[in-house]
Amino acid sequence: MLSAAQLDVIKQTVPVLQENGEVLTRHFYQRMFLENPEVLAFFNPAHQHAGTQQRALAGAICAYAQNIENPAALASAVELIAQKHASLGIRAEHYPIVGQNLLASIQEVLGEAATPAIIDAWAAAYGVLADIFINREQQIYDDQQASFGWSGFKRFVVEKREMASDNIVSFYLAPEDGQPLPAHQPGQYITLRLTPPGSDPVMRNYSLSNRPGASRYRISVKREPALEAGAPAGLCSGFLHDQVKEGDVVELAPPCGEFTLGAKPNAEKPLVLIAGGVGITPILSMLYAALEQQSGRQVVFIQCALNGAVRPFADELATLKEDYANLKSHVRLSEPQDADRRKGGYDSEGLLDNALLDQLIGKQQAEFYLCGPTPMLRHVWQLLKARGVDEADIHFEFFGPAGDLAA
């Protein structure tokens, strides 16, 4: 519990955090990785290089300071982070490492401005926040053990691999011990732990792309090239594409994630699922669940892709369209190739826009689930807000550290 004086100090630091947050978090990560290299496995170097991890942490710290007297306002953000932490196996013993490096970074970045009162207040504030995460994450671990029969990592066999598009490979994974898989929640992800040649073990989250309740998990992995000179290519995606074959054994942690299809659907509102690129993976799992469990509800599925070569699951989606009368689907390619125009197989060209939404759902109130690249998410979110869609009806997931769609 923070004292009144500590609360006042935290609130007074908000302007400093707004101005220096990213400087602080960059210093924090550099310091922590140097002082405590054992935590490196929990972080994706591509996110560090791009600065998205640092920006996300700076935003989270600032939001915590702004809501220091009303932490309930951060419940959704806490849940997102707690699920991510649990997916990676972060435990109570890791929190002192973060706390020590964060407080030292505040002292080192702010210098004499970091008075004893500021350090004391932030030490107390961090302790309160750490307890919130530790308690929630332990609940997640307990729920995993009860629901799936394990927590931590378990050995799975790659039973099958197949191309979903020119740049996406699907892997079908079955427990090595032969135990049945309880159904995951549509939209959840698993964590894969791998050891590429010449590398320490690394962990990556991959959404489950198949029907909940299937006998195997399916992940569908896009090869991630370096986005710019000097940036790392996707270490895990390259290893999976090039070296992991049928019969190999990998390690999986149980499903996690808060971006899941609502358990209490409003059948009067159409369900609109919008997927961009490899962001289709959690959306496809939701689509299966919605069609099987919400037969009385209109389901609209919009798939956005660059072109037909990198559009995943074309045959699978065509089958679903034939099998379910309540499914209305639309494929939009932003940069179709000549081969696409000759063969067809898509419905329209360009970016998703109001005209397409008017065509598919008209003026009906609807519930939306979105997943895709950040520019696409930001574009669609702003479209929906301009259409007057309530924020409570817009659900989305970032791949990587969470960002701000309103920017």
Sequence-ordered list of residues with C-beta below 8 angstroms from that of 245, at least 6 positions apart, any chain: 158, 161
Tell which residue, 118, 312, 342, has the closest CA to residue 218: 312
Spatial distance between the Cα atoms of 220 and 282, rounded to a whole number of angstroms? 10
Tell which residue, 71, 37, 43, has the closest CA to residue 57: 43
Task: Please confirm, yes or no, whether 35 is among the known catalytic residues.
Answer: no
- Region for 36 from its dihedrals, namely left if φ exceeds 0, alpha if ψ lies in -120 to 50, beta otherwise: beta
Marked catalytic residue, from 19, 64, 79, 95: 95
Marked catalytic residue, from 19, 64, 93, 137: 137
Strand pairing category for 367-371 and 394-397: parallel
**Token pair for residue 46?**
């591509």
Task: Please confirm, yes or no, whether 397 is among the known catalytic residues.
Answer: no
HEC string of 292-322 equals HHCCCCCEEEEEEECCHHHCCCHHHHHHHHH
Spatial distance between the Cα atoms of 403 and 19, rounded to a whole number of angstroms? 18
Mapping DSSP to helix (H, G, I), strand (E, B) and coil, where does residue 192 land?
strand
H-helix segments, 302-402: 314-323, 338-343, 354-361, 374-386
Q: Kindly report the number of other CB atoms within 10 A of residue 83's CB atom.
A: 21
Active site residues: 95, 137
